[in-house]
Chains A and B, each alone.
Chain A
């Protein structure tokens, strides 16, 4: 009984003391009553202390310890002592946060793997190195069915989330009146530039990543991420159109984004100046096109440009994929 208490108590303490706790409480488990009193005092001390409970599980060993102890905690919590029950209730919310799902663990492995991408490229070796850095065996890479495509998709989802945060923050500032609203063309330009700059740390290996996204089993997910990104950018730019414009705007932006990305991967100018110049020119083209379209009602032109942009993108990407397969 007292060992149950000591393990329950050790489950609540910070990770570093988990290992230490059992050894210190064992000598005290002399007589049942004495152990009970000591443990109750210990628990009361903990509940009164100002130590903030750890709310993030930073290591899988802690997580596993939690799993092993949750059964014991359940058993201990059913004890009729009010002190135990109160503490169990207080900590129960914390327990739910710390129990990690498989998806969260996979996300953690992939995030850790991004560090090793400059060394190993977008490959299973990078994921294995990421898993090992978290203390897991390299065999856990088997969880990722799509292999290195999973890593690229995870990175892209991360970048998209970051961009959405930045755009939402800017939007808030405009709402609060702390910043001036930008013109649409400038807004689009800044959003695309911010998004593409996230690739700069991985620019050496980015062609490999792009070719991975073209593989048939990865295409649905990569298209989904791309379309969500375009949608988000237009939404924060203020587009609320409900007619054909919705499609033409997104198609145009997709063309601009993809062609700029392609220019970026072979750009060697300082701070990618050539890329941003190219971006400016393309946006200017679209703006000019839009004004002419308004004047002569040729919405079809914008669609054609978007389609041509997409066609150029696909042919260039497949060429790069072809080149990559020759070299790897």
Chain B
């Protein structure tokens, strides 16, 4: 009895030692001393090409995005030569949301997807109204009097978008952008972790995560959460860098990624290491087929993927049925 108590006490001391070393060492230091780690408790994951304990990955990712938040959009344009706008437009086009849909944009950061979503839905609503007016011009008196009564009862459902990100800096930048673009109504900003979303079940019609899921430590947990917060019939859409299929393009892409992007990062944002992490994390992300089976395992149906730009970016889509 006494022996087991002593064992427990010793374990508790070891754990507390480990915590202290982690916080003292800071984020950019080497991983904590292996002699304190228990192989059963601690698992390691990848942070770019580096191997780090899982607990540390989230912190390091947070630091990366905290550093790049201010220059995030400029860097996106520079690195992808503006093509990222096309990718995001194609995501919206594939989504083609119906008026009244609720969007949850996880890892939405600076809000690109949500802004496009609101624009799309608003122009659709305008088009519908224009069509209704045009056809209304040949209505009989009976129909017109009927339509007066329906306008009051059937209020048009407004679409809303919720931007959720774990990083407060990114959300701050996003809010400033929204104000400068004049988009205020229908948009809300929430701090939350993709692995543990602060929302109830069956809330959203569409869940998107654009270029964010490779930064999540436990991707399957994020997929489970996505399934939980979606309504029945809801759609999960994930835009992410993926494996290039064409070997020639792959070589060019690799050269460009590893030679050019960190340099651009240093020149424009003053941060080489963050963009090195970016490029490495792209390589560590599973391929299109693997990710598709991960989504199916989480419980989504009709899972499909579409390659953009020869496989540089892939859009995965699944339904909660």
With an 8 A cutoff between CB atoms, is B321 at the interface? Answer: yes
B232 and A136 contact, CB distance less than 8 A: yes
Bound state CA distance, A138 and B206, in angstroms? 9
> Given the known A-B contacts A60-B321, A125-B98, A142-B94, are A137 and B233 also in contact in the complex, defined by CB atoms under 8 Å?
yes
Bound state CA distance, A238 and B64, in angstroms? 76
Hey, which chain B residues are within 8 Å of A64, CB to CB? 232
With an 8 A cutoff between CB atoms, is A105 at the interface? Answer: yes
Bound state CA distance, A142 and B317, in angstroms? 9
Bound state CA distance, A194 and B131, in angstroms? 34
Bound state CA distance, A128 and B95, in angstroms? 13
Bound state CA distance, A128 and B100, in angstroms? 11
With an 8 A cutoff between CB atoms, is A9 at the interface? Answer: no
Inter-chain pairs besides A128-B98, A139-B231, A139-B235, 13 sampled, C-beta below 8 Å: A61-B232, A64-B232, A105-B321, A125-B98, A135-B232, A137-B101, A137-B205, A137-B234, A139-B234, A140-B235, A140-B321, A142-B95, A142-B317
Interface mask (B123-135 → A, CB under 8 Å = 1, otherwise 0): 0000010010000
Hey, which chain A residues are within 8 Å of B319, CB to CB? 139-140, 142-143
Across the interface, B96 reaches (CB within 8 A) one of A134, A137, A142, namely A142
Hey, which chain B residues are within 8 Å of A137, CB to CB? 101, 205, 230-235
With an 8 A cutoff between CB atoms, is B97 at the interface? Answer: yes
Interface mask (B71-109 → A, CB under 8 Å = 1, otherwise 0): 000000000000000000000001111101100000000
A128: min CB distance to chain B, Å: 4
Binding site for A on B (CB under 8 A): 94-98, 100-101, 128, 131, 205-206, 230-235, 301-302, 317, 319, 321
A102 and B302 contact, CB distance less than 8 A: yes
With an 8 A cutoff between CB atoms, is A131 at the interface? Answer: yes
Bound state CA distance, A143 and B318, in angstroms? 9
Hey, which chain B residues are within 8 Å of A140, CB to CB? 233-235, 319, 321
B1: min CB distance to chain A, Å: 30
B233 and A139 contact, CB distance less than 8 A: yes
With an 8 A cutoff between CB atoms, is A313 at the interface? Answer: no
Binding site for B on A (CB under 8 A): 60-61, 64, 102, 105, 124-125, 128, 131, 134-143, 328
Bound state CA distance, A124 and B120, in angstroms? 15
| Selected A-B contacts with CB under 8 Å, 16 pairs | A60-B321, A135-B232, A135-B233, A137-B101, A138-B205, A138-B233, A139-B98, A139-B101, A139-B319, A140-B234, A141-B96, A141-B98, A142-B317, A142-B319, A143-B319, A328-B131
A102 and B301 contact, CB distance less than 8 A: yes
B232 and A60 contact, CB distance less than 8 A: yes
A139 and B206 contact, CB distance less than 8 A: yes
Hey, which chain A residues are within 8 Å of B321, CB to CB? 60, 102, 105, 136, 140
Hey, which chain B residues are within 8 Å of A143, CB to CB? 302, 319
A312: min CB distance to chain B, Å: 30
Hey, which chain A residues are within 8 Å of B128, CB to CB? 125
Smallest Cβ-Cβ distance to A60: which chain B residue: B232
Hey, which chain A residues are within 8 Å of B100, CB to CB? 138
B205: min CB distance to chain A, Å: 4
Hey, which chain B residues are within 8 Å of A136, CB to CB? 231-233, 321
B319: min CB distance to chain A, Å: 6
Hey, which chain A residues are within 8 Å of B96, CB to CB? 124, 141-142
A138 and B232 contact, CB distance less than 8 A: no
Smallest Cβ-Cβ distance to A145: which chain B residue: B304
Which one of A102, A128, A140 has the highest number of Cβ atoms from chain B below 10 Å of its Cβ?
A140
Which one of A102, A137, A139, A328 has the highest number of Cβ atoms from chain B below 10 Å of its Cβ?
A139
B106: min CB distance to chain A, Å: 15
Listed from nearest, the 10 A-B pairs whose CB atoms lie closest are: A136-B233, A140-B233, A137-B233, A139-B235, A138-B98, A137-B231, A128-B98, A137-B205, A139-B205, A137-B234
Hey, which chain A residues are within 8 Å of B233, CB to CB? 60, 131, 134-140
